[in-house]
Chain A
Amino acid sequence: MPTLIIDDREITVKAGATIMEAAKLLGIHIPHFCYHPGLSVAGNCRMCMVEVEKMPKPVISCAMPVNEGMVVRTDSEMVRKARRGVMELLLINHPLDCPVCDQGGECKLQNYAVKYGPDRSRFQEHKREVPNYDLGPVIETEMNRCIHCTRCIRFSTEVAGTEEMGAVFRGDHMMVGPYPGRGPLTSELAGNMAEICPVGALNLKPFHFQVRGWELQEADGVCPHCAVGCHTRVNHKDNIVYRIKSRRCDSINQDWLCDKGRFAYEGMTEGRNLVPKIIPQEGGSLVEVTWAEALDRAAELIKGVAPDEVAGLAGAWGQGAEELYAFQDFLRNVVGTAHLDHRLAQRDFSGDAVPLQRADLMLNTPLTAMEEADAIFLVGADPRHEMPLLNLRLRKATLNGAQVWSMGPRHLSSNLENVEETVIAPGEECNFLRKVLAAMATRRGSKAAVAWAGALRKAERPLVLLGRYAINHPQAELLRRLLLALLNKAESVQEAWQGYNRMVAVANAAAAQDMGVVPHRGPGYQSVARTGMNAREILEGCALGKIKVLFLLGIDPGNEAADSYLAAAAVAEVQVIYLGAFGDRAAQQAQVVLPGLLPGERSMTLTNGEGRVQRCERHVNGPLMAREDWRILRALSQRFAKVLPYNDLEGLRAAMGRGDRRYDPGVVGSGKLGVPCDHGVGVTQGLDVNVDVDEMEDASGPILLWQPSLYDDTPVVRGSKTMAKLAGGVELRIGTKEAKKHKIASGGSVSVECNGHAIQVNVAVDEALEGSVLFGTGLDFRCLGDGKGGFLPVTLKALK
């Protein structure tokens, strides 16, 4: 623990710390461009030079480790002169076009030029001219402004792992940009490059020329778009969000934010439900009405049928724990029905009978601990495109030497190191895990099974991640149990290490579980007197006439349900009350539309995949007539015999805290970061792994797999233009061999048929696919529905 003196103030820091870090602890700001706490030290900008006694030359504080007894001066004549020199050199080739630069007003170069630089230029030669690049829909370049700090290069290489940015040529001809031959960026984290660019060389394309930095107001937020729960800074003006930046949180997102979290806000303004609407009793189409009329009509619909004929489906995405709590409270206690769920994409509900505990349903390894894993087992998981910021922790673990074992229906496009992939045909997953289980004992079996068994046996800190594909698998529960059985057999696991993780990427799905938006449990995992229908049964019930009124909270079952075909049929059969922000198909078919709000427009509680409860405050106003969703439920309940027992946020939150201790307003509202994985150990023993499962449909022909991508899984995301560009078009991906078999080439057109429905799509041959598995990208595949047992056998016809 060396002690040193900086600007006459003494400080003791840990050995190996740099002068920059020590100064930061003292609150002394040392100007810098290339230094970034989340990246390696480059030491190239030379702006952070300080004077150290007994050293003849100024030293760069970002790279110089502290020594016992060091005497540092950060504002001596030598330092000021050195900074002035560096500033002059940085500015000679800089275009000084601040008036038309997005970065103007929030630019390090501008600020430091004022504070430390000379006030006029002595440069009379020609300024350097540098070409710009097409870096895709996220980044706009103006490379004349580049000061070659290499932050973007280091980010792309070290953090994103895509190695797309580099510097070509030398000296003052050096140009920073994509490596020659590398086109638009492929990283899902590209926006960070613009954020860490200290000048206006890399700008955010959607933000380009929109507004000046100093006009924006800033609010702290929590990203509502996936279950990582990244901390954000929301820039807004006149109730419009213009930009979202990352807000440092070492326990969650460190310094970064993915492109979805950064740009999905664009979709907040598209296709909104602006006013209450109903279809009048005499029929016709939706008409605008007052709130009172709309609520009356909704109450009328519900009262018109037996409580058991009412069901509720909630989208966890976009709803705060407040909305989710009030929703289940309303349905259970005001209406008196037990049929409610939020798990529309799920196919296997057999875990409800156990019942699964919080630990079984969420992550058990805190994000920070994931970096310490020594073996990572991905089961039907694509963490890079499900939870990008979680994936960065995995990447760190692999950089530290962890090996990744992945099983799934296709090869991953991963940025992890040391990935060993086993491609398993859909439906064969459990068989494979059984073989691994056998190989744990016998050490015999297929090569992949023996390798998995060996890795599991040796692993001290194994990390098992069940991804979207595994969670929504028709045999999800069995798959989960087999994995637990494997983990129980892993003999080298360190004590206290929790490696089982169910990686639900849907934002706030954890809160939906906690708040009891499931048919078999109430808030706080308490059992309920009567178990209702699950999501699948509700949709079937609608189609069969058992359910007559369907209350939707911010969800379009046609877009979200595993069997969208069934969902569409269900919605068409019943009276729908739609409470939500978007006017999607379900809203258009509804009898009553109640306009709700979106994240950012109301104070709400978000729970991330680790079960960490966070508060996100309102920072913009929603549409004039829209209301907080829970308040709408409260107002609706006034039309019933029993009224929801809270009429303000405090009351509601107190009720939530009574339901689940983790939501105690005293804790959540304290401003302190919530505790991750605060749920003990789940059900790990006594689980039957020999249960019968539904036979798969004959899989001799091609099987189509479809699941939402990172860029089209929620209404807001689907409304964002940037997301649409990132998602790409509708495309059928087909393996090389299968393409040959059907005589299809990339770029060709094909008709995909199933259930008597067909769509025509373009084809891309994809080496990541094996056998007869096909992958669809884009929502259009929704219309084909779901196959028996979960997988969709299709026939292909090549079109001319």
Chain B
Amino acid sequence: MNQSAPLQIVFKNIHKANSHTLPVYLKGGGYKAMAEALAKTPEEVINEVKTSGIRGRGGAGFPAGIKWSFIPKASTKPKYLVCNADEGEPGTCKDRDILRFDPHLLIEGMVIAAFAVGSERGYIYIRGEFFLESQRVEGAIREAYAKGYLGDNILGTGVRFDLAVHLGAGAYVCGEETALLESLEGKKGQPRVKPPFPANVGLWGGPTVINNVETLASIPAILEHGGSWYAGLGVEKSTGTKIFSVSGHVNRPGNYEVEMGLPLKRLLEEYAGGVRGGWDNLKGVIPGGSSSPVLGKQVCETVTMDYDSIARAGSMLGSGAVVVMDKSVCIVRAIARISRFYRHESCGQCTPCREGTGWLSQIVTRIEAGGGQPGDIELLEELCGNISGKTICALGDAAAMPVAGAIRAFRDEFVYHVEHGRCLVE
């Protein structure tokens, strides 16, 4: 792993003045990778991305190159490329910076991706609250059309790709790719039953690739420097760089692009200005957005920021939203808040999630309010088991994991709450 100065791939432009405009983007070497990619065959592009080993940055971590290769070559229906810019996972704010400060990087990545999978139509589904961002992206799309980076005949190569922005309406579940497709089709945002997967039956029934903003924004660099260069960054099975949105009780919260595999402790101490009140004041860290189980301080000492290390520690890298909690935090209260969020955001379609998230939230809130009863903690654990893996989409797991994880890591606090009707902290 490269230990030298921070390497910026996705964030290489965002500190420049007017970084969202085309002239600034071009000055930084923009759209060169696209031109080079269009000179290759789609297979070569896909292979390059496969070689890079880049995994989806939206949360699930599925290798992007493999996802692209699932798209059938011949299809009677149009193929679609959809960018998931519905960044809704609490704690995550990385895509927003790409959208508002470097939209052309995303567009360039999308043209390359569309060329690789043979799609001529793309959509960027932007979270409803991201109004400035959507305007910036739409402005960039206009600029790109004007210069021939989008349209019927991109750079005279005969490649065709049309791109449009669709603004969501604020539902967290629309970040789930099939709910996003439903919403994009104008329906209620509810996840679809899989199989069939979007690669076969996606938007309007056509084969569809859905990638996260950060994933697509990493593509130009991979094409520019080569897949093996990218694969050399980070650690095995977690290659390249990742943006971590560090929030909570650190002295300098923010988005930090670092190589994968960086120890969590270094991320917090060196990049994020240290834990408030010093490292020893750390209580726990949610490493991958509100849906990932919280890690206790003991684990935070050693865990590194890559998919496998965090999975071994019992949590997940998710979207890379690192939520730091110091010792002033009541874990029960934090979980009650998170549970309320998932109750509110459950689409209501399938039984375990619709009923389960509501019940979870009610129980945790009751414990937090001092109404806990013997057996509540065991009930919570069992309930989490009845939700996890039983739902149409991952929102059920996302609701259950933080509760189950918090009980695992901080059981004593829950027990204290139930027995004493109040907080251990205070």
Chain A residues within 8 Å of B, Cβ to Cβ: 41-47, 49, 56-58, 60, 63-65, 82, 85-86, 88-90, 92-93, 122-125, 147-148, 150, 167, 169-174
Contact = CB atoms under 8 A, between A and B. Distances in A.
Interface string B166-184: 0000010100000000000
Given A58-B390, A171-B345, A44 B350 contact: yes
A46 B389 contact: no
Interface stretch (B93-101, B232-240, B358-366): B358-366
A171 B190 CA distance: 11
Contacts of A174: 347-349, 354
B133 to A, nearest CB: 24
B8 interface: no
A148 B343 CA distance: 16
B193 interface: yes
B391 interface: yes
A41 B385 CA distance: 25
B347 A170 contact: yes
Given A89-B355, A171-B345, 11 more contacts: A57-B389, A57-B390, A63-B193, A63-B195, A85-B386, A86-B386, A89-B356, A90-B351, A92-B359, A170-B345, A171-B344
B352 A86 contact: yes
A172 B351 contact: no
Contacts of A171: 343-348, 353-354, 357-358
Chain B at the A interface: mostly helix, strand, loop or mixed?
Answer: helix
B358 to A, nearest CB: 4
A60 B352 CA distance: 13
Contacts of B356: 89
3 shortest interchain CB distances as A-B pairs? A85-B386, A174-B348, A172-B358
Chain A at the B interface: mostly helix, strand, loop or mixed?
Answer: loop
A56 B388 CA distance: 12
A545 to B, nearest CB: 69
Nearest to A85: B386
- Among A41, A49, A86, A169, max chain B CB count under 10 A is at A86
Given A65-B195, A125-B359, A171-B345, A85 B390 contact: yes
Interface in B311-356: 343-356
Contact of A86 (B188, B343, B390, B392): B390
B379 interface: yes
Nearest to A128: B358
B195 A167 contact: no
Contacts of B173: 170
Nearest to A49: B390
A65 B346 CA distance: 27
Interface of B: 171, 173, 188, 193, 195, 343-359, 362-363, 366, 373, 375, 379, 385-387, 389-392
Contact of A123 (B188, B193, B195, B359): B359
A122 B381 CA distance: 13
A43 B358 CA distance: 20
Nearest to B386: A85
B352 A148 contact: no
B347 A86 contact: no
B205 to A, nearest CB: 13
B359 A89 contact: yes
Given A41-B193, A172-B348, A82 B355 contact: no
A612 B385 CA distance: 55
Nearest to B195: A65
A170 B171 contact: yes
Contact of B351 (A63, A65, A86, A170): A86
B379 A122 contact: yes
B351 A46 contact: yes
A347 B346 CA distance: 62
Contacts of B345: 170-171
Nearest to B392: A43
B351 A89 contact: yes
A44 B392 contact: yes
B348 A148 contact: yes
- Among B171, B344, B390, max chain A CB count under 10 A is at B390
A610 B270 CA distance: 82
Contacts of B389: 56-58
B348 A60 contact: no
A86 B359 CA distance: 13
Contacts of A65: 195
Given A58-B389, A63-B193, A171-B343, A43 B357 contact: no
B390 A90 contact: no
B192 to A, nearest CB: 9
- Among B349, B355, B362, B366, max chain A CB count under 10 A is at B355
Contacts of A122: 375, 379
A189 to B, nearest CB: 23
Nearest to B356: A89
5 contacts: A46-B350, A49-B390, A90-B351, A148-B354, A172-B343
Contacts of B171: 170
B348 A170 contact: yes
B271 to A, nearest CB: 36
A85 B386 CA distance: 5
A42 B193 contact: yes
Contacts of B392: 43-44
A109 to B, nearest CB: 11
Nearest to A47: B351
Given A63-B193, A125-B362, A172 B357 contact: yes
- Among A47, A122, A170, A173, max chain B CB count under 10 A is at A170
Contacts of A57: 389-390
B197 to A, nearest CB: 12
B365 to A, nearest CB: 9
A173 B354 CA distance: 8
Contacts of B386: 82, 85-86, 88-89
A47 B385 CA distance: 15
Nearest to B359: A92
A125 to B, nearest CB: 4
Nearest to A40: B193
B350 A172 contact: no
A17 to B, nearest CB: 14
Contacts of A86: 351-352, 386, 390
A59 to B, nearest CB: 10
A85 B350 CA distance: 13
A123 B383 CA distance: 11
A202 to B, nearest CB: 18
Nearest to B366: A125
Contacts of A93: 355, 358
A607 to B, nearest CB: 42
Contact of B193 (A60, A125, A169, A170): A60
B383 to A, nearest CB: 8
B348 A45 contact: no
A82 B350 contact: no
Contacts of B390: 46, 49, 57-58, 82, 85-86
B193 A167 contact: no
B354 A45 contact: no
A520 to B, nearest CB: 55
Nearest to B344: A171
Nearest to B347: A170
Contacts of A64: 195
A399 to B, nearest CB: 14
Contacts of B391: 46
Contacts of B350: 43-46
A147 B354 CA distance: 10
A285 to B, nearest CB: 65
Nearest to A33: B351
Contacts of A167: 188, 348
A46 B352 contact: yes
B281 to A, nearest CB: 36
A65 B280 CA distance: 53
A274 B164 CA distance: 74
A295 B357 CA distance: 74
A44 B352 CA distance: 9
Contacts of A88: 386
A108 to B, nearest CB: 13
